[in-house]
Amino acid sequence: MRDHDILMGRLITEIIYVHSKLMIIDDRMAICDSKNINDRSLVGNRDSEFCIVINDLEEEDGRLNEEAVLVGKFCSSWCKKIFEYVSYVKLP
């Protein structure tokens, strides 16, 4: 899946692919895992894999698609730090 947008006057593109080890959903939930989608991992008897789901219960005010929403405090801050790390945004 590919998406694109203008962020801070710059064209950005995103590719979401199966190898990703982290998914942050609506700044409220995060899924972190070690698995890959390949034959070795899918057989189920050779690799040991783990997955953790973080359902953020502490909320704070946030904005998604220009609308005021409640977001998870941990997941939202993690998402912002990741975007700052890859230089998409500068945080105050």
Cα dihedral 87, 32, 53, 39 in deg (nearest 10):
140
Domain of 47, in residue numbers: 21-85
Q: What is the per-residue burial (b if ≥16 Cβ within 10 Å, else e) of 15-51?
A: eeeeeeeeebeebbebeeeeeeeeeeeeeeeeeeeee
pLDDT value for 73 = 94
pLDDT tens, residue by residue, 29-43: 999 887 666 556 656
> Is 90 inside a domain boundary?
no
Stated length of the chain: 92
Write out pLDDT tens, residues 42-73: 566 666 677 899 999 999 998 878 899 999 99
Strand partners, 5: 12
6, part of any domain: no
pTM of the prediction? 0.58
Q: Is residue 33, in this structure, part of any structural domain at all?
A: yes
How many separate domains does the chain show?
1
Residue 14 in any domain: the answer is: no
Per-residue pLDDT at 53 = 93
Q: Average pLDDT of the chain? A: 78
